Structure 1
Amino acid sequence: MLVAPDKTKLYPNENIRTVCYIKNLPRKLNVEIGDYTYYSDNKNSPENFYERIQHHYEFLEDKLIIGKFCAIAEGVTFIMNGANHRMDGVTTYPFNIFGGGWEKVAPAVEQLPFKGDTVIGNDVWIGQNVTIMPGVKVGDGAIIAANTTITKNVEPYAIVGGNPAGLIKKRFSDEMIELLLKLQWWNWDEQEIFDKLEILVSTNDIVTIRKLLENEK
């Protein structure tokens, strides 16, 4: 009996070619994707996901890290550190990239603003046309509303929206969030996820989650 779709396939459902598991695209340096995380694109092929990662230059060594079981809608854009301009002078204009003698003011890497890695947690839902700025950390279980611009970290199980993003509400109570972060269901094996699918998709009862945690010990 099958207990999960084949996580090694590019298209988990051959009848839905607008959705692909990103991890199964050709590997890209400094991009790490978790199992079952998908990109959906109804306008273009989802295989073009890497085009959504912009200004990502190898010499800067910043990473885009996305966890397991994330749902990423079309039009999302990840802006990486290569988009940053030097800001400590009179002008931010990047003279050096155009050559013609201007390359004499090419900045050293350490002179450029660097925000670090961009990290998306597990079980994160990112809506259409979201923009995520460099160095942002998005916590497990968060939801990002369509057309949102993320400029700062998002707490686990928060729902955020707007430009710039603001907190709309928390998905659960603080106690429930603490339990879910301990549960880490996304690290279960396929059989355990299959056996508890009904709980995962329809339960927000804190007593049930507490019992699950106790059984995991």
Structure 2
Amino acid sequence: MPAPFPPAHTAHPLTLPDGTTHPGTVFLKPVIDHPRIEVGDFTYANAFEPPEDWAAHLAPYLYPQSPERLIMGKFCQIADGVVFITASANHRRDGFSTFPFAIFQGDFESGRPSLPQEPGPDTVIGNDVWIGKDARILPGARIGDGVIVGAGAVVHGEVPPYAVVAGNPAKVVRRRFDEASIARLLALAWWDWPIARILHHEAAICGADLVTLEAEAERFGG
């Protein structure tokens, strides 16, 4: 008989066979307290050496006063070594020098000529996105639902839903399903269902049984 599924507010949701919890696996929502990071339920991250500060570990250039945000949906899977390089890491690059003279005088927000002149964009990760080991997600990336990011990939720009991307710069290797199936999956949005309902249909979700899932959605009105 399997153990109950851990609630979304559980910091360390992975229990090992000896009954101890795995310190390097966390649901991110309960362990991140950062004004510029939003994380959906059940999104987890793994680290071989667990950090004290998961926000700084994952997004080291995102400061409390940063104008941009890092937004992650539900049920994402973040492997060891993944780093989100958010827009506050940017240097001005339209002039002769990229050197940030202002910050070495403690001047971070005055609009000095050596600082970027416009706030950078948010970085947005969809639902059920798997980001492989040591991937780098660049400022302003928008990764669609169901995407798989290959290990070591460097991702920028917009990645369509249910794509597999790999390489540096990351490129779409293939789409996981045909366009019609992807549209049906996005309309279904199973990740918004109650967790008990998701677990009840684990076989259909993990076995790509759209017919069963759509029948379930119709039965409950979405």
> What band does the TM-score fall into relative to the shorter chain?
0.7 to 0.9
Contact 2:150 2:164 in 1 (8 A): yes
Q: Which runs of 5+ in 1 are unaligned?
A: none
1:192 CA drift (Å): 1.0
Percentage of matched positions with identical amino acids: 37
Is 2:205 aligned against 1:200?
A: yes
Greater relative contact order (CA < 8 Å, ≥ 6 in sequence): 1
In the superposition, the TM-score normalised over structure 2's length comes to 0.86
Q: How many residues matched?
A: 213
Of the three residues 62, 71, 81, the one matched with 1:56 is 62
Aligned equivalents of 1:70 and 1:169: distance in 2? 20
Is 2:172 aligned against 1:171?
A: no
Seen in structure 2, the aligned counterparts of structure 1 residues 176 and 156 have a Cα distance that, compared at 3 Å, is same
1:4 CA drift (Å): 2.6
Aligned equivalents of 2:160 and 2:184: distance in 1? 15
Aligned equivalents of 2:148 and 2:197: distance in 1? 24
Seen in structure 2, the aligned counterparts of structure 1 residues 105 and 138 have a Cα distance that, compared at 3 Å, is closer
Seen in structure 2, the aligned counterparts of structure 1 residues 52 and 201 have a Cα distance that, compared at 3 Å, is same
Aligned equivalents of 2:146 and 2:96: distance in 1? 42
Per-residue CA deviation, residues 26-77 of structure 1 (Å, 9 max, x unaligned), is 41111011110000112x1155422220221333321000010000001001
Seen in structure 2, the aligned counterparts of structure 1 residues 107 and 14 have a Cα distance that, compared at 3 Å, is farther
Of 61-70 and 193-202, deviating more is: 193-202
Secondary structure in 2 aligned to 1:60? coil
Aligned equivalents of 2:179 and 2:220: distance in 1? 21
1:206 CA drift (Å): 4.3
In the superposition, the TM-score normalised over structure 1's length comes to 0.88
Aligned equivalents of 2:10 and 2:212: distance in 1? 33
CA RMSD of aligned residues (A): 2.6
Per-residue CA deviation, residues 100-129 of structure 1 (Å, 9 max, x unaligned), is 99xx982387714x4411010000000000
2:34: which partner in 1?
28
1:92-171 alignment, distance < 5 Å:
92-99=98-105, 106-107=112-113, 111-112=117-118, 114-171=119-176
Contact 1:179 1:209 in 2 (8 A): no
Amino acid paired to 1:8 = H
1:5: which partner in 2?
6
1:70: which partner in 2?
76
Secondary structure in 2 aligned to 1:24? helix
Of 130-139 and 3-12, deviating more is: 3-12
